[in-house]
Amino acid sequence: MREVISIHIGQAGVQLGSNCWELYCLEHCLDPSGNISENDRRCFTEVPACMVDEAGDTNEIRKPMKNLLLTAEQDKIMGDGFSSFFMETSSGSFSPRSIFIDLEPTVIDEVRSGKYKKLFTPNYLVSGNEDAANNYARGFYTTGKMILDRVIDPIIKMAEASDKLQGFMLFHSFGGGTGSGFHSLLSQELTQEYYKKSKLEIAVFPSPAMSTAVVEPYNTILTTNTTLDNTQCVFLADNEAMYNICQNRLDIDSPSYQNLNRLLAQTVSSITASLRFKGTLNADFSDFQTNLVPFPKIHFPIVSYAPIAGVKSASHESSNILDITNKCFDISNRLVRCDSETGRYISCCLLYRGDVAPKDVNAAISLIKLKKAVKFVKWSPTGFKIGINNRAPCVFPDGDMAPSHKAVCMLCNTTAIKEAWANLNIKFNLMLEKKAFIHWYTGEGMHEQEFFDAQDNILSLEQEYESMQD
């Protein structure tokens, strides 16, 4: 086994985590209690798999699923990498390899009392009694430190119980106090304790149109600074981009955070599919860094997904490989708002799922290259990496997204993301020049110099992305 421990931090991380694990359970045929769902038709039907012959043609084969209760067959039923994300309990059910953390109990209590309450191990749901008040310093220096031991202990126990731990996935927001401050504190601790293990992040980046706190620029710059030395790869999404997708693609008039989280969970499912099911790319945790990150600090890929169609409009949505591939390069399918026309691609992974033939993928990529619509940096002229996973995507039964037999998730490292850092730096600098709200942070034990150090490092990051485009 090659285990992955998921750590969900703060309100955004916890709520996103709840949706991710619900989707994982649907994909692996588990009911809300973590038992194999014998009433789920998908668990008793044959699952298509692709076999490529020497000529490159794809022949569909069928793998029948039988004897669900036989341990030897469980990985075939639920995915070859199922045990990487789930662990078996003493009662024979399965529980996520995950820790949920928040500095105040409200959101964690929703997990404790929700539909999937029996899925999660109670000791791995950790909450404090007072929040971080949207303050990085409270999450890092004061309130966060009060619960750090209660978080580290279960992580160590879970890691020690692993056969061969691959690494950690951290889910959080950049703008919140817990998502920024406590995430940074925990990330540093994990680096010290498990410095040889990879850390990947799914992070919600602040968006101007949906700001929840005036100090978001401070929190974001400070936690981004921490990721530079402590994380190998950070997949970014922002609420404004996801809000627009929900409105324009899923026909939701007033999207809720639940809608946004379900959309993001769909992409996370595709990112992790090659770890949970047998795939041809990114089958190992370290592969993400190898395929996407050319230099250690240039590790902020953005995510696209297709097809994204509402239940009502699904019949008008094309699902052929060329169309869904092209849609991934459309800014309206991106989970971060940045103009790719102003930047160049550094690296690009296209992760296909479902009824997908390699020859169709190769044909689609060849056409994209022929049109020269996608521009790479000069030293990476053909930087496409392709992965195919034969498990079709699931959708939430009561959700807004229409089911599809195939899908593609694009992970791309692009110099266009420098726009996000540039816009953030402007706001950060305006506030810092006036020393606005600084006392909120220094009052929690933080030194003012930390703001300037973080400012310098993010400016260097912006310049490093800029230099790659030249």
- Residues whose CB falls within 8 Å of the CB of residue 56, separated by 6 or more in sequence, listed in order: 358, 359, 362
User: What are the residue ranges of helices labelled H in 127-238?
Assistant: 136-140, 143-160, 177, 183-193, 216-230
Residues 217 and 436: beta-carbon distance below 8 Å = no
- pLDDT computed for residue 78 by the predictor: 56
Same domain? 172 vs 263: yes
Q: Is residue 113 scored above 90 in pLDDT?
A: yes
Q: Give residue-wise pLDDT tens across range 26-38.
A: 999 999 999 998 7
Residue 110 binned pLDDT confidence (cut-offs 50, 70, 90)? very high
Same domain? 47 vs 169: yes
Q: Give residue-wise pLDDT tens across range 76-91.
A: 555 558 899 999 999 9
| Helical packing angle, 183-193 and 216-230, nearest 10° | 10
Residues 301 and 287: beta-carbon distance below 8 Å = no
Between strands 4-9 and 98-102, the pairing is parallel
Give the rounded percent of residues in the chain with a pLDDT score beyond 90. 76
Residue 201, phi then psi, degrees to nearest 5: -130, 145
Residues 120 and 98: beta-carbon distance below 8 Å = yes
- pLDDT computed for residue 34 by the predictor: 96
Mean pLDDT, rounded, for 61-66: 32
Total number of domains in the chain? 2
- pLDDT computed for residue 50 by the predictor: 34
How distant, in Å, are the alpha carbons of 188, 237, 294, 375, 376 from that of 368? 41, 25, 23, 10, 12
Q: What is the CATH number of the domain that holds 128?
A: 3.40.50.1440
The pTM (predicted TM-score) of the whole model is 0.91
Residue 53 binned pLDDT confidence (cut-offs 50, 70, 90)? very low
Residue 141 binned pLDDT confidence (cut-offs 50, 70, 90)? very high
Same domain? 353 vs 451: no
Same domain? 449 vs 403: no
Structural domain range at position 448: 422-469
Same domain? 440 vs 395: no
Same domain? 164 vs 57: yes
Same domain? 223 vs 151: yes
Residues 329 and 416: beta-carbon distance below 8 Å = no
Residue 307 CA to residue 403 CA, distance in Å, equals 9
Same domain? 438 vs 300: no
Same domain? 374 vs 427: no
Give the rounded percent of residues in the chain with a pLDDT score beyond 70. 88
Residues 455 and 425: beta-carbon distance below 8 Å = yes
Q: Give residue-wise pLDDT tens across range 385-422.
A: 999 998 999 999 989 999 999 999 999 999 999 998 99
Residues 216 and 175: beta-carbon distance below 8 Å = yes
Q: Give residue-wise pLDDT tens across range 167-188.
A: 999 999 999 999 999 999 999 9
| Nearest residue to 204 (alpha-carbon basis) of 40, 12, 431, 416 | 12
Same domain? 462 vs 321: no
Q: Is residue 45 scored above 70 in pLDDT?
A: no
Residue 264 CA to residue 262 CA, distance in Å, equals 5
Q: Give residue-wise pLDDT tens across range 234-286.
A: 999 999 999 999 999 999 999 999 999 999 999 999 999 989 987 667 677 88
- pLDDT computed for residue 454 by the predictor: 97
Q: Is residue 373 scored above 90 in pLDDT?
A: no
Same domain? 277 vs 223: yes
Same domain? 379 vs 435: no
Mean pLDDT, rounded, of the chain: 88
Please tell me the chain's helix, strand, coil percentages from 3-state DSSP, rounded to the nearest 5.
Answer: 45, 20, 35
